[in-house]
Amino acid sequence: MREPEYDGDFLVRRVTVGGQFKWKGEKIFVSETLGGEPIGLQAEDERMYTIYFAAFPLGRFDSYKRTISPLPREDEFKVGAREGEIPPSPAPHPLHPQTQKVSGMSPV
């Protein structure tokens, strides 16, 4: 399977086997599951970043506090959007009802 690619406005970091990525010399834990994979950080402003794996938003990174927090619920995610509009993310929000599945396979 190909590695995910990110647009030029993303900062790309590779996650270590221990589940961390480096930010200005400091190790930030994100997930052991992503060990060895590249993640993309898209700036919301000078402080906050949305963390992506491929087209999937995973959480928000506060670069000042060096913490990761969950994404807001879908209804909170619609910054300035009216009900029924697509979220302001470059990728579909995983909780948006119109999001398509990546695969038709299901766990056994």
Evaluate whether 71 touches 59 at the Cβ level (below 8 Å): yes
Asked whether the CA dihedral 41, 42, 47, 48 is positive or negative, the reply is negative
Q: Is 49 exposed, middle or buried (0-12, 13-18, 19+ CB in 10 A)?
A: buried
Sheet holding 10-14, edge to edge: 10-14, 38-43, 48-53, 56-62, 67-69
Instruction: List, for residues 12-70, the tens digit of each pLDDT value.
Output: 999 999 999 999 999 999 999 999 999 999 999 999 999 999 999 999 999 999 999 99
Helix, strand, or coil (residue 39): strand
What is the pTM assigned to this prediction?
0.67
> Which of the two residues, 100 and 6, has the higher pLDDT score?
6
Q: Give the residue, 83 or 26, on which the prediction is more confident.
A: 26
CA gap 3, 38 in Å, rounded: 7
The count of C-alpha atoms lying within 13 angstroms of the C-alpha of 15, restricted to the half-sphere facing its C-beta, is 22
